[in-house]
Structure 1
């Protein structure tokens, strides 16, 4: 290669100035929690004058050229300026703002005395909380599956590497604290840890400087399997799963979920504690020594102490989470089948058998006859005949059953369930001039979650229903141009969480889905 000649003084000054500007921008990157709470120009040119909310490029936490090209392409697809601004702000949110750290694990010694190769690690925060939820991080990354492609396992800057890092870190978390749902940064990151100790009473105990939250949510481990299959289905890279601790983590998941299928009573009639118990002084499950109400065991279903919204279950057979876990087991078993010898596949068989058992349990015990809507899926049951008939807006939900792959939207039981959820028959349905949809006890009744409106669109073939929900989403951001956790049905200026990356990503997924299924709707105005 020929040597580079002297740089002209003017060019040198420009380069130095550019470097100074970039370094200054990095040094002055605002805390996004604060940034997302204020409006920034340029505003969209539509009626709602939505803020521009992407950080400047030097302050973004991960760069994907494919994503940038896709955002630019969609600019020519969406006619309404406010709807496009929502997409432009929301879909990139996880990559722009929540990749807290990416790197390699420390080298450790394996059981056979050999040295473990460094593993890619990705610490993905949920947004305004600096912790990594198994559920949230899996769904945040799922927003980019359409861009995911194989990279040969060697490109540490690729989207595929980001997925592999998240899978590896989730496997580490599960092996360390399998009943917990949210975690602090890995030691390798150098990010300071702070005690997350609270007044909840939880067994088994955990390290408050390693774990952020230890709520047993079945959908958390289901999300680990979902993320694994998302990566595998897009890249075909099954060899990756044999390199580190994925098989061990799946074995742990199978063991703990099997342990949470037990009856509340042993064969001799004595009371049995579940392996995990939880009590909270406010809104928790303090009855029966923190076990909750009695449950009939061995009916194919797995108990979950918390819902995806973090509220405690009333009855612990949470049907949407069982739906998701059944699907995730079946899909990810195809990875395990590649890793196990074809003549003997014990883990593959366990995964598929449990998946089938859960589905049988749902269809046998969780289909209830509603006097208005006919056969519907219950939200929670206890196996003794007690049921909760409602839905919660966070995912997985009953509304999301087709989206998570449990059943076709055409299933009559699902259609009946959906009709009830999206009506005043659902005790947590809320309506008003700002937005109407499914609310949650987590943020109090009367405050729909935009995430549920997005899911309504994703499960609908009715143009009128889709348009109505798109209008609610566009008009309910309080001018910030991001998806909130919840919005007061009567006042769009009253909301919770301005930085909820998962909801933002799901909004982008919905827009890309509409382009395929209902492209004419993206040519409409929502003014």
Structure 2
């Protein structure tokens, strides 16, 4: 029998870990909660958290070269260790399976988990890949290589298209049958009553979230805008999936709660769950809170997977509008290969949606000093004049609107909204504390700040002082493990949730690469 060292050397030589080798690889959920040497040489002595190459789920020489290059760019040893651990985390740990469709050997598929849950979220997988846009190939020859980052993008786009054609109202999905991976059991969903019905062998959870539809358009747009590989989108199931996305969004925009005669109208989507948490089910026997037709698209759940208070979730509508326009550009490029009028339909939908956001999503509030009334973006509205004035850490958020390209961070309404979001006096889910001060949300609850929100704050700020302060707080609150947690107790960094959250890890790495070109002098500083 081969020794572990022999197995690892053999797999390294082949560039791919064999099934025999992987049997020796640690469970990353456990591995990520333990300190591993060598520790960083700074005061935080951060653990090294990357699996050995043979145990990584995807190896990219381009990513490895970039990580090595950044050692001369990031001066602080602790900050560099955090980048070194986090940027490759999805590639290292979360590419659960790659292969091809059973009915078409040319159709690439990629099943990506978000971390400690063995299911693929549309939103998470799109955002996990977004972190690798800086290394996404653009050369026509390189993008066709089976071990390219471009191949991962295509695999996710193809698998998301399949999911959306099967269950367009759902947010999280099981491994494809081709993978041979057994479907995960979701005990939380055992009592779910959902309209339309879904197959639990294909769907892990069916919470309708507008940002999940937007995520498919996002990953598609980002792949196209980097590679210019329009031909890919004429193949397989992308165009039918886009039409399914539009039909679903239209249905949730056109459906108010009441008819002209006051009758309660049937909803295209309903959801109930037996639970002790109000955020895990919808009010009014699964209908959700009443809405009046406004041109906005309803969202039953937030990107946190918590139910909405009012169903017109403004940041999700912003994100959907942004990537509607982006995906329309792909459709237009396909010309006669696309259904007639589809690009025009998408552009018209985007314009109407942006107008509805401006009309219904911007609301008056009393200024901080109480001397005047000013306008800000609401987090949620219902079309009846009700507005939820808060923000949540999960993207899309109001704070992240410039990050996903809906507006500029200099926009006057955004700046007023931002000031409220980052105020404990105005945002009920801004968690102020001695360890970290950041937006949180009801998903984990009061007192728990999300480093993801701190990262978004950096990505949407031009203020050096604000950026440095946020970096210091993030660096000081990994509990020595050198990874980005889901949430951290704002007054006690040793209390946190989720050791393995690859989306947040990748977002941190993406942010450091953004600073490299936007604020390089900050990365030359010491955080000791």
Q: Normalization by structure 1: what TM-score?
A: 0.93
Deviations 1:169-197 (A, max 9, x none): 00000000110001010000011124434
CA distance in 2, matches of 1:398, 1:492: 26
TM-superposed CA distance for 1:124, in Å, is 0.6
Asked if residue 26 in structure 1 is aligned to residue 22 in structure 2, the reply is yes
Asked if residue 208 in structure 1 is aligned to residue 208 in structure 2, the reply is no
> Unmatched 5+ residue regions in structure 1?
1-13, 108-115
Deviations 1:327-358 (A, max 9, x none): 01001100011223399841111111111111
Asked if residue 271 in structure 1 is aligned to residue 259 in structure 2, the reply is no
Asked if residue 252 in structure 1 is aligned to residue 244 in structure 2, the reply is yes
The number of equivalent residue pairs is 505
Asked if residue 101 in structure 1 is aligned to residue 97 in structure 2, the reply is yes
Q: Which residue number in structure 1 is paired with residue 483 of structure 2?
A: 482
Cα separation, partners in 2 of 1:62 and 1:342, compared to 1, 3 Å? closer
Does structure 2 retain, via aligned residues, the 8 Å contact 1:422–1:438? yes
Does structure 1 retain, via aligned residues, the 8 Å contact 2:8–2:21? no
Does structure 1 retain, via aligned residues, the 8 Å contact 2:317–2:353? yes
Q: Which residue number in structure 1 is paired with residue 376 of structure 2?
A: 376
CA distance in 1, matches of 2:245, 2:7: 53
CA distance in 1, matches of 2:7, 2:79: 39
> Unmatched 5+ residue regions in structure 2?
369-373
Asked if residue 185 in structure 1 is aligned to residue 175 in structure 2, the reply is yes
Does structure 2 retain, via aligned residues, the 8 Å contact 1:106–1:118? no
TM-superposed CA distance for 1:200, in Å, is 2.5
Asked if residue 170 in structure 1 is aligned to residue 170 in structure 2, the reply is no
SS of residue paired to 1:340: helix
Deviations 1:405-455 (A, max 9, x none): 111011000000001000111111111121111011100111110000000
Q: Which residue number in structure 1 is paired with residue 299 of structure 2?
A: 304
CA distance in 1, matches of 2:339, 2:444: 49
**1:65-144 alignment to 2 at 5 Å?**
65-107=61-103, 116=104, 118-144=106-132
TM-superposed CA distance for 1:202, in Å, is 1.5
Deviations 1:445-490 (A, max 9, x none): 1111000000000111111111110000000000010000000001
**1:50-449 alignment to 2 at 5 Å?**
50-107=46-103, 116=104, 118-150=106-138, 151-152=140-141, 154-196=144-186, 197-261=189-253, 262-281=255-274, 282-283=277-278, 284-297=280-293, 299-341=294-336, 345-373=340-368, 374-424=374-424, 425-449=426-450
Q: Which residue number in structure 1 is paired with residue 515 of structure 2?
A: 514
Does structure 1 retain, via aligned residues, the 8 Å contact 2:119–2:204? yes
CA distance in 2, matches of 1:342, 1:306: 35
SS of residue paired to 1:313: coil
CA distance in 2, matches of 1:380, 1:28: 48
Q: Which residue number in structure 1 is paired with residue 371 of structure 2?
A: none
Cα separation, partners in 2 of 1:309 and 1:372, compared to 1, 3 Å? same
Does structure 2 retain, via aligned residues, the 8 Å contact 1:181–1:217? yes
CA distance in 2, matches of 1:500, 1:343: 37
CA distance in 1, matches of 2:7, 2:94: 29
TM-superposed CA distance for 1:25, in Å, is 4.8
Does structure 2 retain, via aligned residues, the 8 Å contact 1:121–1:166? yes
CA distance in 1, matches of 2:8, 2:421: 57
Cα separation, partners in 2 of 1:138 and 1:17, compared to 1, 3 Å? closer
Q: Which residue number in structure 2 is paired with residue 113 of structure 1?
A: none
Cα separation, partners in 2 of 1:412 and 1:264, compared to 1, 3 Å? same
SS of residue paired to 1:341: helix
Deviations 1:244-300 (A, max 9, x none): 000000000000110001111123321112211112333144432311121001x21
TM-superposed CA distance for 1:15, in Å, is 7.9
SS of residue paired to 2:79: helix
Does structure 2 retain, via aligned residues, the 8 Å contact 1:484–1:498? yes
TM-superposed CA distance for 1:118, in Å, is 3.5
Asked if residue 468 in structure 1 is aligned to residue 448 in structure 2, the reply is no
SS of residue paired to 2:448: coil
Does structure 1 retain, via aligned residues, the 8 Å contact 2:170–2:206? yes
